[in-house]
Amino acid sequence: MLLLSIPVFLVVAGHILVLQRTLDGPTRYLTIQGDTIAYVSMIEGDLSSTAAPFKYRVLVPLLARLLPLSPTESLRVISYASLLICYVIALLTCSKMGINMFASVGGFLTVFFSPLHLYNYHNPFLTDAFGLMILFLMVFFLLNDRLPFFFTAAVIGVLARETIVFLTPVWLTKNWRRGMITIVIVAIVLFVPRYILPSDRSLVEQVVSSFSGINSPLTVLSMGKNIFLTWGFVWFLAPLGLLLVNKDKFVTLTAAFIALLLGAFLSSLIAVDTGRMFSILSPVFVILCAQLFDRLLHKGHYYGVIALFAILIVQATTSVPNILFNEQSRVFNTELTQRTILAVGTVFSFYTGLVLRNPLSQQLREKTRGIIGVCP
């Protein structure tokens, strides 16, 4: 029952509490614009004149056309349905890994309360939520050795979001031959729409152009800062959780983490909105944070976990426009608020590492020994 009731509650809560963009919003920040305009145009049947890369993401607009609703309402329904499935799959994945239900919910809420994820409720008129659902499914099938379903999800997913392709090579850690076949077929599906509807600039040209723009140490530092702020102190929690993962899942989750991190970085070089690109780490972060909380709860550190969620709730209410604080509020997204949350969250991360220093050290030795053992 909890497997469905908690996800349903959170989707409803996200819809009610987070302020959404509208066609005639009171401010530019609350007005539908950018990517959504392209998807609406596709839903209305104008595919050829839509700019790249939106015109290649044909699946979600096609599904939206089948619904008896306006284009924006159809996109919202698809996003909410996708998020609901994400949450169910997240809890199911953690359960299959033997993680305590409370810890599973904790790992899940760590991602849910992040500004990156709540953006799906602020602007549910994109293909992001659908792409996230595919990634959650692929991670679930990856950890449970279900190649046919992993393959099917990947093929479907690349027709909605290109970043799906970055998780595909992780199957190579399980079976080289089947992994290569999967990569080739998914790549073909990815490039077919690009062959049918060519763009003025190829993807390779865009990446090369983006790399050429990184021409000074200050640019690199600014990019690094922006990337760090996407997940904030969760960057510290995730590696701790990864160390605590059982040996049989460690290699797979490490490969998935690296693949999605690389994909997010490459995507951020092209995209205007850097932060959104790093949301693809969500499926892995849910598991890693849940694993960390499972160990904390097992050691009786309930107050530490409660303190973390207090931090996360403050972060959520001050970084995404909501019914309590909109973008005109004095505390909304200010540098002082961000620094305070980051500082407190970082202290909690180090506190967690200190509390779990013994199991973390033991796991580090075991996993390092395993790596040394397979090296010639």
The Cα–Cα gap between 218 and 322 comes to 34
Whole-number pLDDT of residue 376: 44
Task: Go through the chain and tell me how many residues it has.
Answer: 376
Domain boundaries, the chain: 2-368
Contact criterion met (CB below 8 Å) for 90 and 106: no
The Cα–Cα gap between 23 and 375 comes to 58
Whole-number pLDDT of residue 375: 43
Contact criterion met (CB below 8 Å) for 161 and 134: yes
Contact criterion met (CB below 8 Å) for 341 and 318: yes
Cα three-residue angle 123-128-133, rounded to 5 degrees? 125
The single-letter DSSP state of residue 271 is: -
Whole-number pLDDT of residue 216: 58
Whole-number pLDDT of residue 187: 93
Q: If you write DSSP's letter for every residue of 42-110 in order, what string do you get?
A: HHTT--TTSPTTGGG--HHHHHHHHSSS-HHHHHHHHHHHHHHHHHHHHHHHHHHTT--HHHHHHHHHH
Q: Which of 17, 11, 75, 82 is nearest to 42 (CA)?
A: 75
Low-confidence ranges of the chain (pLDDT < 70): 1-2, 198-220, 333, 370-376
Residue whose token pair is 């056309």: 65
Q: If you write DSSP's letter for every residue of 279-324 in order, what string do you get?
A: GGGHHHHHHHHHHHHHHHHHTT-HHHHHHHHHHHHHHHHHHS-BSS
Whole-number pLDDT of residue 54: 85
The single-letter DSSP state of residue 376 is: -
| Phi then psi dihedrals of residue 361, to 5 deg | -65, -40
Contact criterion met (CB below 8 Å) for 228 and 235: yes
The Cα–Cα gap between 264 and 275 comes to 9
**CA dist 63 to 11, 77, 135, 290, Å?**
20, 10, 18, 33
Its pTM stands at 0.92
| Phi then psi dihedrals of residue 322, to 5 deg | -145, 180
Whole-number pLDDT of residue 49: 73
